[in-house]
Structure 1
């Protein structure tokens, strides 16, 4: 297994990893996203990854980071292996992930290991199982209100979309009684902003306790038709912060799919391929593992930089264009907009239903311009703003 030179390690850190961290790994930073779009930092990162593969070959590349064993994956089949063999021996609960998410979800499945992780994962899969609530009906209802608002102003921008999206998310998760509780998700956003800094930001226990109290009041109501009605409030309290966190990413993907002119679930999957909301997937080995003749020690961090695998022109002829035809069964194992293997997002189907329904409802109700190929490597959703007109009703 090759070891990167010190210069190439610096290149990997400064051109691939640091820009990703700067944009915000838990909640996006608007100013940095705007700069990242102007500089097209993801294009530079993808080019750096391609250069590393050309220089060192397809095997995992060890970075020279003092005191750590860190490996950058460069081949789709290695991505497939590390995701298929999670959580043992490749744990999802890496030290960086724990430091970030413990600011607002210290008992979530993503920061758990062993039996606790297994129990929490089963709980997520059961509650988020498709068909348990009618998320599509909520999405159509909120999308209709957004169509009316956008048609009256002539503009659909991120601010207006995000307000409608959070009302939708709170209704699905907690019920109609939470629809207008902006304070709940504002507090969660602040906690997530602290999570961006991981180890470097002190805990804000009072803020988290205030968020917990508001959340518990909604969970105790257990409103029929919401996820809150499907399980015990104490168990839900451990997982709901991450569900709301995930809805933020789903909203970003939906807005970008609108910019593409996308349709349905395939449109959502393509937006997540082109601009991954989880640009870095991390795994941490729980025991020594053999890779291409080299034994890597326990505690090795494996890095999957998804923009490279999703938009590598050396492998993907459709890298920089909208290609909904590849879904739902892409021919490349490293196309993982919702991760893959045992660690695949348990809310994948719920997200695709909610986001796809919203996307189609907005497209049916509004007409607006779309992005053309080649599509940018970095797309700042905060700056998306569409002039819109009301679509003519379809003739029967």
Structure 2
């Protein structure tokens, strides 16, 4: 297994990892997203990854980092193995992930291990089934109200979309009483902004308690027709922050799907393939593991840079095209928009139903300037806007 030169280790951080972190791993930063789109930083990152593979071969590339063992995956088959063998011996609860998520969700399933992880994962799998509540009905209600607003202004912007999307998210997770509780998700956003800095930002415990108390108030109602009505409040309070957090990424994917003329769940799948909302997937080995004849120590951090595997022109002849027909059974093991294996996103199906319902409700009422292939590697959702159709009589 190759070890990157110090120069290439620097390139890996400067061109791949640090720009991705700068955009915001937990909540997106609009100024950085705008700069990233202007410079097409994801294209730069994918090109750097291709050069690493050409120079060092397809095996995981070890980066020269003092005091750490870090392996950058370069082959889709290795991605499949890493995800299939999670959480043991490849734990989801990496040190960076724990440092970030503990700012707002210290007991989340993504940073849990052992029996606690099994219990919390089982709760997620049981509750986050889209047929448990009327997700399409909730989203359709909010889409109808949004369209009325859009018709009055003549344009759909990210800000207008996000306001309606968060109302739907709060109704789905907590019930209709929480629909207009902007303060809840505003406080969560502040905590997520802190989480972008992981261990470099102090934890604001008072703010987290304020969020937790407000969240618990909604959960204790157990409102029928919401996820809050499906399990005891004390169990849900550990996981609900992440459910709300995940709806942010789902909204981003929906707006981008509109920009490519997407439809249905395949449109959402493709949006997240083309522009992964979780661009870096991390795993950490809990024991010594053997990779292609090389033993890597326990505590090795494995890095999957999803845009590389999703946009690798050497592997995928459709890398930069809208290709909805490949879903839900993609032909390549490197296509992992919702992660994979035992650690696959437990809310994937619920998110697909909610996002595709919103997408299909909006798309026929907007003049969408559909992007054409080759699609850009970076797409700033904050600047997307769509005008209403000049004639919208429902035909």
Summarize the Cα distance change of 1:205–1:168 in structure 2 as closer, same or farther, 3 Å threshold. Answer: same
In the TM superposition, what whole-angstrom CA distance separates every residue of 1:194-236 from its partner, at most 9, and x where no partner exists?
0000001111011111111110111111111000000000000
Alignment match, 2:353: 353
Matched residue, 1:244: 244
Return the offset for 1:10.
0.6
Secondary structure in structure 1 of the residue aligned to 2:87 = coil
| Equivalent position of 2:226 in the other structure | 226
> Whole-Å Cα distance in 1 between the matches of residues 328 and 93 of structure 2?
28
For residues 6-17 of structure 1, what are the structure 2 equivalents within 5 Å? 6-17=6-17
The answer on 1:154 being equivalent to 2:154 is yes
Q: What's the counterpart of residue 312 of structure 1?
A: 312
Secondary structure at the aligned position of 2:156 is classed as strand
Q: TM-score, normalised by structure 1?
A: 0.98
- Give the whole-Å Cα distance in 2 for the aligned partners of 1:69 and 1:393: 60
* Residue pair 2:69, 2:299 contacting (<8 A) in 1 also: yes
Q: Is the contact made by 2:263 and 2:356 (CA closer than 8 Å) also made in structure 1?
A: yes
8 Å CA contact 1:36, 1:378 repeated in 2: yes
Asked if the contact 2:274–2:320 (Cα under 8 Å) also holds between the matched residues in 1, the reply is yes
2:321 aligned partner: 321
- Secondary structure of the 2:364 match is helix
What stretches of structure 2 of length at least 5 have no aligned partner? none
Contact 2:365–2:388 (CA<8 Å) still a contact in 1?
no
Asked whether the 8 Å contact 2:313–2:319 carries over to 1, the reply is yes
Query: CA–CA distance in 2 between the matches of 1:24 and 1:249?
Result: 12
Worse overlay, 101-110 or 356-365: 356-365
- In structure 2, the partner of 1:276 is 276
More divergent stretch after superposition (289-298 vs 357-366): 357-366
Contact 1:367 1:391 in 2 (8 A): no
Query: SS of 1:304's equivalent?
Result: strand
What displacement does 1:148 show?
A: 1.3
Instruction: Return 127-136 or 180-189, whichever deviates more.
Output: 127-136
Equivalent in the alignment of 2:78? 78
Runs (4+) of structure 1 exceeding 4 A deviation are none
Hey, what does 1:260 align to over in structure 2?
260
User: Aligned equivalents of 1:259 and 1:331: distance in 2?
Assistant: 25
Match of 2:295 in 1: 295
Q: 2:374 aligns to what?
A: 374
Corresponding residue for residue 364 of structure 2: 364
The CA deviation at 1:111 is: 0.5
Matches for 1:92-103 after TM superposition, within 5 Å: 92-103=92-103
Number of equivalences: 395
| Counterpart in the other structure of 1:110 | 110
Residues 92-133 of structure 1, C-alpha deviation per residue, up to 9 Å, x if partnerless? 000000000000000000010111011100010001123100
8 Å contact kept, 1:366–1:391: no
